Amino acid sequence: MVTVVPLAGATLVCPNNTVVTATFSVAMQPATVAFTLAGPGTTPVPGVVTYDSTNTIFTFTPSSPPLALSTTYTAAIAAGAIDEYGIALASPVVWSFTTSSELCAPPTVISVTPLAGATLVCPSTAVTATFSEAMNPATIISPATTFTLQGPGTTPVTGVVTYALSTATFTPNAALTVGTTYTATITTGAQDLNGDALASNKVWTFTTAANPCAPPTVVSVAPLVSALDVCPSTLIVATFSEAMNPATITNTTFTLAVSPSTPVAGTVTYDVSSYAATFTPNVALTVGTTYTATITTGAQDLGGIGLATDYMWTFTTAAAACTAPPTVPMGKACGFGALAATPVLSSISDTVVTGEVGIYPAASITGFALTGGPGIAASYDVGDAAAMQAQAALATAYAYAAAAPGGATLPADVGGETLAPGVYKTTSAQPSLGITGNLTLAAGTAGANGVWIFQIVSTLTTAAGNSQVILTGGGLPQNVFWQVGSSATLGTNTLFAGTIMSEASTTVTTGATLDGRAMALTGAVTLDDNQVNVPPCP
């Protein structure tokens, strides 16, 4: 068995510093592995073949990058390659991929938390940076100098750096000092999967509040409090008001029980960037049963402060097992057609949003009727309690979708595909997803109950003037969810369906129509002469 990168049929492959890899299921005899790359057509590409210490991963590195633009290349492992047991490859392994139409730009940091210049920041905070594309984790996590935090002045802060999807998180070992300005830095040592580094260091500052944080609270949960008819294969998610100490979020502090006291076995995880904890039951829950979820006071923030009291809520499962993945509970974010975090949520032209438009923690909307612009929405929530609650619910929904189990691996572009309800994902080897042409979501026997969850490691991009997401067989846009690790961009004059939940930013370009929601956890939502039709809430 051989797995390859770029994937067979991949498009929009970055020409810069592209390397081609083939990973064998067993160790090979290197001298017998003939690995070539050709393109355009049969023109051989000069390069060097290397292999790792296990003799399983072979890499072809072109001698003179970049590769040509908009060109199809064919990689091949010749038949006769012999493994460590003396068994030869019976037939050649041949696959093709196509480069993008332009040289890849260096990666950038597209959103951060706390925001640059923020004041009154809770001292028990984590610091995050979301990149424009998938990065090489080894260039971010291991080097102690790539992602740093300093304060007061140049005093280094000790902490742990993690990386997931397209977001790096610096979690201090203890709460920061009150009333102090801190400087976060991402250096040019951070590289993408092609070895391209940031063009320059990303540096920003923020200032902590004059007092320690109030005790942390649970601000959003899924399933919702007292929810009925919950799919038995549900996940249980709780989002906190601030960064928590991951070591205190465990099976002891986050439990699930059949009311009142029979425990449910499961696994607890914590996402440091969204402050969300997820309880995944080992098996599907029992139908028609009431469950109690509990977060105890043993759950502590980075300053060692625990919840003031245990947080408990109940929900009841449906009378029958699910026939499709459970829907993603949107909670108080459900009525929003556009929801963002950073200061500008702009509509340059005649945009209509049939639901609410909200922003938090920033408090600025431009281009809508609220500020004299031509854009119209049903209502606005600007830096208020409703927007804060909606952002908390979005963090819960994002974590829920990201943790949905299973998932079929997607090609680099899903235009022309027909997909049944289910969970679909990209991988670190092919992190981004494009849609060129029509993507059909066929509900089949699931009908209106069909649910699609797309887990995208890095970016989602639809082709300008040539992209539609089409629902057939009774499928509904309120049951389609796109969890995007960095940013989503809908091309001009395209049609799209579903709720977009981006870690960093969501851009809906001129004339695009969205039957769903445009949302961003840490960055902006940008609209331009769009129709955003918000689907109904449960």
How much is the average pLDDT of 406-426? 91
Strands 72-77 and 93-98: what pairing?
antiparallel
Residue closest to 495 by CA, chosen among 472, 471, 514: 514
Which two structure tokens, joined as six digits, stand for 288? 């028609």
Inside any domain, residue 212: no
Alpha-carbon distance of 524 to 522, in angstroms, equals: 7
The answer to the question of residue 129 being in a domain is: yes
Domain boundary among the residues 35, 69, 98 is at 98
Q: Where are the alpha helices (DSSP H) in 382-502?
A: 385-403
Which positions ≥6 away from 153 have C-beta within 8 Å?
Answer: none
- Report if residue 538 sits inside a domain: no
Neighbour tally for 373: CB within 10 Å: 17
Given a cut of 90, is residue 111 above it in pLDDT?
no
Nearest to 399 by CA among 279, 266, 233, 526: 279
Write down which residue in 98, 121, 141 finishes a domain: 98
104 located within any domain:
no
Q: CB burial class (10 A; 0-12, 13-18, 19+) of residue 409? A: exposed
Q: In the predicted model, what is the mean pLDDT of residues 436-464?
A: 92
Question: Which residues are registered as beta bridge partners of 357?
Answer: 338, 380
Q: What letter represents residue 462's amino acid?
A: T
SS3 for 154-177 is CCECCEEEEEECCEEEEEECCCCC
Is 38 in contact with 122 (CB distance < 8 Å)? no
Spatial CB neighbours of 325, under 8 Å, sequence gap ≥ 6: 233, 404, 406, 421, 422, 423, 451, 452, 453
In a domain, 470, yes or no: yes
1 pLDDT more than 80: no
Identify whether the C-beta of residue 195 lies closer than 8 Å to the C-beta of residue 184.
Answer: no
State what percent of residues in the chain have pLDDT above 90.
Answer: 62
Contacts 24+ apart (CB under 8 A), 47-55: 54/27, 55/27, 55/28, 55/29, 55/30, 55/84
Note whether residue 273 is domain-resident: yes
DSSP 275-288: TEEEEEESSPPPTT
Q: Are both 381 and 483 inside the same structural domain?
A: yes
pTM of the model: 0.77
Pair 243, 289 in one domain: yes
What total number of domains does the chain contain? 4
Residue 413, pLDDT score = 87
| 264 lies in the same domain as 390 | no
Amino acid 282: pLDDT: 94
SS (H, E, C) 324-345: CCCCCCCHHHCCEEEEECCCCC
Question: What are residue 440's phi and psi, to 5 degrees?
Answer: -100, 125
Residues 381, 356: contact at Cβ < 8 Å? yes
pLDDT in tens, 321-362: 887 788 999 999 999 999 998 755 555 557 889 999 999 988
Report the pLDDT value the prediction gives residue 370, as an integer from 0 to 100: 67
Residues 363 and 495 in one domain: yes
Average pLDDT over residues 62-91: 89
Query: Do residues 485 and 353 both lie within one domain?
Result: yes
Range from 124-133, 157-166, 392-401 that averages highest in pLDDT: 392-401
DSSP 57-69: EEEEEESSPSPPT
What is the 8-class DSSP label of residue 397?
A: H
Asked if residue 439 and residue 344 are part of one domain, the reply reads: yes
Q: Are residues 67 and 117 in the same domain?
A: no
> Residue 343: what pLDDT?
54
* Residue 406 pLDDT: 83
Q: Hey, is 453 helix, strand or coil?
A: strand
CA–CA separation, 426 and 130 (whole Å): 18
Report how far residue 412's alpha carbon sits from residue 250's, in angstroms, rounded to the nearest whole number.
36
Reported as a pLDDT band with limits 50, 70 and 90, residue 3 is confident
Q: Do 386 and 520 have their domain in common? A: yes
User: Which residues have CB under 8 Å from 474's CB, separation 6+?
Assistant: 443, 447, 448, 450
Inside any domain, residue 214: no
Same domain, 336 and 473: yes
Residues 84 and 114 in one domain: no
Q: What is the mean pLDDT of residues 491-507?
A: 94
The whole-chain average pLDDT of the chain stands at 90
* Residue 8 belongs to some domain of the structure: yes
Task: Verify that 202 and 342 share a domain, yes or no.
Answer: no
Identify whether residues 247 and 290 lie together within a single domain.
yes
CATH number at residue 165: 2.60.40.1220
* Residue 113 reports pLDDT greater than 60: yes
H/E stretch holding 140: none
Per-residue confidence (pLDDT) for residue 375, from 0 to 100: 72
Q: Which residue has the higher pLDDT, 4 or 409?
A: 409
Cβ pair 504, 523 in contact under 8 A:
yes
Determine which helix (DSSP H) or strand (DSSP E) holds 499, and give its type and residue range: strand 495-502
pLDDT band for 149, please (50, 70, 90 cuts).
Answer: very high
- Which pLDDT belongs to residue 23? 85
- What's the Rg (C-alpha) of the chain? 24
pLDDT one-digit tens code per residue, 263-309? 999 999 998 888 999 999 999 999 999 999 999 999 999 888 999 99
* 153 vs 324 pLDDT, higher one: 153
pLDDT of residue 312: 96
Q: How crowded is residue 533: how many other Cβ atoms within 10 Å of its Cβ?
A: 17
- Residue that is last in its domain, among 168, 183, 207: 207
Domain boundaries, position 343: 331-533
Question: What is the rounded average pLDDT of the residues 89-116?
Answer: 86
Distances (CA, A) of 189 to 154, 195, 198, 399: 19, 10, 7, 29
> Does 147 or 21 have the greater pLDDT score?
147
Least confident span in 202-206, 242-246, 363-367: 363-367
Supply angle C-alpha 344, 346, 352, rounded to 5.
Answer: 140
31 contact partners, CB below 8 Å, separation of at least 6: none
Q: What is the pLDDT of residue 353?
A: 92
Per-residue pLDDT at 79 exceeds 80: yes
* Each residue's pLDDT tens digit, 221-262: 999 999 999 999 999 999 999 889 999 999 999 999 997 678
